[in-house]
Structure 1
Amino acid sequence: MSKNAVDQGDVRIERKGGVAYVEFHHPLSNSLPGKVLAKLANTITELGEDKEVLVIVLQSEGDRAFCAGASFDELISIDNLDTGKVFFSGFANVINAMRKCPKFIIGRVQGKAVGGGVGLASSVDYCFATKFAAVKLSELAVGIGPFVVGPAVERKIGTSGMSELAINATEWRTAEWARDKGLYTEVFDTAHDMDKAISELIEKLSGSNPEAMAELKRVFWQGTEHWDDLLAERAAISGRLVLSDFTRNAIEKFKKK
């Protein structure tokens, strides 16, 4: 891989038996520009169709930042409605790919999750985290809102938890808060302990009936069949708001911090 490709972020796949480890990376706290979002959605879709894959683990590179959400550089470059909708549709496509994937997706959240990162954690089927995995939905603070990730977050932690995060957009919530709300299944003191628990769960799932797991996955996501249209509508809202002077000024201020 070239240095330039690394600087722009990437998605890597490592296979171990029937387990596919999907790792995304970006030098700016694992933020998600459009190209990384597209590759992530395509990767999950392809692995879902791969008969050799039993379980998928979604993770990011590094120690203390799981995902910083949308790329500010890309946000500030949006200059028309179509471009805005396309960018935010990138998050919609990843969520919908995870929703439709017939394989269980296990989340490994080693550090802080912001905005779209909370959306990713909400869209996996079973999520592990460390005590460093605080969460925040910061979108309102930059003049937009968590419109695209909102349905996934609300499905996981309820309307009350979702509205708490969305309204108090500058306040971090601890990993323990996220666990108590149902976003994380377990929270560990170290990444080593988390990885051990992930391995134990994978070992159990490796002996499970793939057809039964696929049917369970369908049951878990019943009632979301309209999300292709819903998330596209939400992407259009964000795409419109990101063009406002308020949002552009707010993003510039955040970038300077």
Structure 2
Amino acid sequence: MTYQNILLEITDEILYITINREHKLNALNKATLAELAEAISIAADNNEVRGVLITGAGERAFVAGADISEFSNYNIAEGEELARVGQNSVFDAIENCPKPVIAAINGFALGGGLELAMACHLRIASENAKLGLPEVSLGLIPGYGGTQRLTQLVGKGKAIEIITTAEMITASEAEKIGLVNYVVPQSELIAKAEEILNKIKLRAPLAIASAIKAVNASLLPDVDGFDTEIKEFGKCFGTLDFKEGTTAFLEKRKPVFFGK
């Protein structure tokens, strides 16, 4: 695929995905979502990728929402299909990616932009970031998992307040309620995300994937998360990384993992 709306780069086992529509405040349109779906598929399948960093071009916006002009005339069926395709191909794919995905939130993360950040496993925000789900101002509700993931992250009461008032919150408020993991100066945003990914890269890749799967299972109503954990724990014993990790521990040296 030739990318028109995102930039991709793999450096030191990190896949950098930059939403590159700065003139539109990096708003998500259909083409951008299709490119993101492809990029996440690459991340999941490429053994050279150990982590993913998603950010927006420029300092004004991570993603300032969806491209409203594309769906302003949709009917009920078209609206439902829009949400279903986006959730399945992009947002759920990010959440279930076996590689850790970090959102580096620079500036506005609104609507679909905040939903994109919430689908990531970790969120780092710059001090100037503003976050919100303003969909009810358009006669809509969040359609890319926003009602579900926001509730999981901040609790029911705060989620309903944020969604129904449609007001933006600051980065510091987002950190206080658990919506983001860290708030840093704009100049340190990417470095902080890299710092975390570089720590994760020292650990066993297959174990990381199993941990993500088990944690995600805790939120699925039709799945026994404890059973998932037991099975993923057992699978780890069949990996070379387990042998390397335990041998290195007993030999009092640092392990070298290969994801096998």
Q: TM-score, normalised by structure 2?
A: 0.78
TM superposition shift of 1:128: 0.7
Is 1:41 aligned to 2:28, yes or no?
no
Is 1:156 aligned to 2:139, yes or no?
no
CA distance in 2, matches of 1:155, 1:89: 20
Is 1:143 aligned to 2:146, yes or no?
no
- Rg (Cα) greater in structure: 2
| Alignment counterpart, residue 162 of structure 2, candidates 161, 165, 184 | 165
SS of the residue 1:221 aligns to: helix
Is the Cα contact below 8 Å between 1:91 and 1:116 reproduced in 2?
Answer: no
**Equivalent position of 1:214 in the other structure:** 209
**Equivalent position of 1:64 in the other structure:** 60
TM superposition shift of 1:189: 2.2
TM superposition shift of 1:224: 4.5
**Equivalent position of 2:84 in the other structure:** 89
Is 1:196 aligned to 2:191, yes or no?
yes
SS of the residue 1:63 aligns to: coil
Give the AA of the match of 2:175. Answer: R
CA distance in 2, matches of 1:181, 1:168: 16
| Alignment counterpart, residue 112 of structure 1, candidates 105, 108, 113 | 108
SS of the residue 2:8 aligns to: strand
CA gap 1:219/1:62 in 2 versus in 1, 3 angstroms? same
Give the AA of the match of 1:156. Answer: L
Is 1:121 aligned to 2:134, yes or no?
no
TM superposition shift of 1:147: 4.1
TM superposition shift of 1:122: 1.1
Is the Cα contact below 8 Å between 1:121 and 1:183 reproduced in 2?
Answer: no
Give the AA of the match of 1:161. Answer: K
CA distance in 2, matches of 1:43, 1:89: 19
Relative contact order higher in (CA < 8 Å, ≥ 6 apart): 1
Give the AA of the match of 2:212. Answer: K
Is the Cα contact below 8 Å between 1:25 and 1:61 reproduced in 2?
Answer: yes
CA gap 1:123/1:105 in 2 versus in 1, 3 angstroms? same
CA distance in 2, matches of 1:147, 1:48: 24
Give the AA of the match of 2:181. Answer: T
Is the Cα contact below 8 Å between 2:105 and 2:124 reproduced in 1?
Answer: yes
Is 1:30 aligned to 2:26, yes or no?
yes
Mind listing any 5+ residue stretches in structure 2 that lack a counterpart? 223-260
Mind listing any 5+ residue stretches in structure 1 that lack a counterpart? 228-257
TM superposition shift of 1:210: 0.2
Give the AA of the match of 1:198. Answer: A
TM superposition shift of 1:22: 1.1
Q: Deviations over 1:86-141 (max 9, x none)?
A: 32234313111012211100110011111111111111111111111111111111
1:167-186 aligned within 5 A: 167-169=164-166, 171-186=167-182
TM superposition shift of 1:29: 0.9
**Equivalent position of 1:16 in the other structure:** 11
TM superposition shift of 1:81: 3.4
Is 1:53 aligned to 2:49, yes or no?
yes
TM superposition shift of 1:143: 0.4
Is the Cα contact below 8 Å between 1:68 and 1:114 reproduced in 2?
Answer: yes
CA distance in 2, matches of 1:226, 1:43: 29
For the aligned residues, what is the CA RMSD? 2.1
SS of the residue 1:21 aligns to: strand
CA distance in 1, matches of 2:65, 2:45: 27
